[in-house]
Amino acid sequence: MTVKTILTEPNKILRQVSLPVEKVGNEERRLMDDMLETMYDAKGIGLAAIQIGVPKRIIVMDLSKEGEKKHPMYFVNPVIKNKNEVLSKYEEGCLSVPNQFIEVNRPSMCEVEYLDYNGEKKNIKCDNLLATCIQHEIDHLEGITILTYVSKLKRSMIEKKLSKTKANEDRVVL
Ligand code: NI
């Protein structure tokens, strides 16, 4: 397993719409392993393949708390089948939008159809943090990040800030 570099806003690759996976094979499983390792390393709870530059409809998540047994989840070609009309508000963070927390309203419950790590067709009913997280990750597959949910002005301010941070990281410090 390899820890990959996570792309951050305003990287245009994050705008790409990811493509469906035809078959869950060893290559896809290796990708999922790397994604999970990358997510754990960055202390995130969810990661979409496009965040490491791979435009495939694959998501990994683990909502277990620190100190609890790890509970990795893998979603290939996830599709939201049902969602309720009641919205819930959550201050979301994103590994591709470091140090920013943005309030997003999403359906508080949803049902998702997907293929698992072994390519088997599965269905999961989600609520609370699971519903928020899976919808956030499915957004990534459509090229959407949480910056879509803020005003244009706020978005450009955040993007400017993030670009600057990145520039500093590249500088050689003696
Ligand atoms: Ni994210």
How is the chain split into domains, by residue range? Answer: 12-167
Active site residue 137: yes
Class (C level, CATH) for 12-167: alpha beta
> Each residue's pLDDT tens digit in the chain (174 positions)?
899 999 999 999 999 999 999 999 999 999 999 999 999 999 999 999 999 999 999 999 999 998 899 999 999 999 999 999 999 999 999 999 999 999 999 999 999 999 999 999 999 999 999 999 999 999 999 999 999 999 999 999 999 999 887 655 656 667
Q: Can you tell me the distance from the alpha carbon of 89 to that of 65, in angstroms, rounded to the nearest whole number?
A: 21
As a dihedral over the C-alpha atoms of residue 146, residue 76, residue 33, residue 9, rounded to 10 degrees, the angle is: -20
Q: What's the CA-to-centroid distance between 98 and ligand 1, angstroms?
A: 10
Question: What does pTM read for this prediction?
Answer: 0.93
Give the pair of three-digit tokens for residue 105. Answer: 């309203």
Q: What's the CA-to-centroid distance between 174 and ligand 1, angstroms?
A: 33
16 and 7 in contact (C-beta within 8 Å)? no
Q: Can you tell me the distance from the alpha carbon of 163 to that of 39, in angstroms, rounded to the nearest whole number?
A: 22
* One-letter identity of residue 159: E
* Contacts of 160-163 spanning 24+ positions with Cβ under 8 A: 162/8, 162/9, 162/10, 162/97, 162/98, 162/100, 163/10
Q: Can you tell me the distance from the alpha carbon of 110 to that of 75, in angstroms, rounded to the nearest whole number?
A: 14
Catalytic residue among 68, 92, 137, 169: 137
